């Protein structure tokens, strides 16, 4: 659920880098915000929620995957000028078992496992910022 946005508000997102066999899970975004770009599972941090709990909730809602071994990763700060929004995205790495499913088809066209060194494009702005920073998730090099 997208929170109501007040002018000048900075929104906090959580991006989940789900790792498996040296690859990360990416989805092709659908809908208005970032449509046509590739992104990690994730979403808005809710009031009172921990980053890890947000990661668990979003991954389960979007992919059906249950996370374990969640660890903090870097953050990104991105301004979406066309939408009048500024997001700080807190990333985590995690493991999960099972097969990802498209549980929000209005927001994601499909999930695929990708090598970090060879991500498809275009990338959703927060993922692009993280990738451009030089961060490499452990086990994906």
Given a cut of 90, whether residue 83 has pLDDT beyond it is: no
Of the chain, the percentage scoring pLDDT greater than 90 comes to 85
Q: Where are the domains of the chain?
A: 10-130
Given a cut of 90, whether residue 82 has pLDDT beyond it is: no
Question: What is the per-residue pLDDT for 7?
Answer: 66
Lowest mean pLDDT among 6-10, 61-65, 103-107: 6-10
List pLDDT tens digits, range 90-110.
Answer: 999 999 989 999 999 999 999
Buried b (16+ CB within 10 A) or exposed e, 16-53: bbbbeeebbbbbbbbeebbeebbbbbbbbbeeeeebbe
Question: What is the per-residue pLDDT for 8?
Answer: 74
Question: What is the per-residue pLDDT for 3?
Answer: 52
Question: What is the per-residue pLDDT for 44?
Answer: 95
Q: What is the mean pLDDT of the chain?
A: 94
CATH class of 10-130: alpha beta
Question: What is the per-residue pLDDT for 31?
Answer: 85
Helix (H) or strand (E) holding 68: strand 66-80
Tell me the two tokens of residue 25.
């899970």
């Amino acid at each position: 659920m997208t929170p109501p946005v007040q002018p000048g508000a900075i929104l906090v997102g959580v991006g989940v880098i789900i790792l498996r066999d040296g690859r990360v899970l990416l989805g092709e975004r659908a809908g208005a915000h970032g449509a046509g770009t590739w992104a990690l599972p994730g979403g808005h941090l809710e009031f009172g929620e921990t980053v890890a709990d947000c990661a668990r909730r979003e991954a389960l809602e979007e992919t059906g995957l249950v996370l374990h071994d969640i660890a903090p990763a870097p953050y990104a700060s991105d301004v979406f000028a066309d939408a009048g929004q500024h997001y700080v995205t807190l990333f985590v790495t995690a493991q999960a078992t099972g097969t990802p499913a498209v549980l929000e088809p209005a927001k994601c066209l499909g999930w695929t496992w990708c090598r970090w060194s060879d991500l498809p494009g275009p990338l959703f702005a927060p993922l692009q910022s993280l990738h451009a920073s030089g961060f490499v998730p452990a086990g994906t090099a």
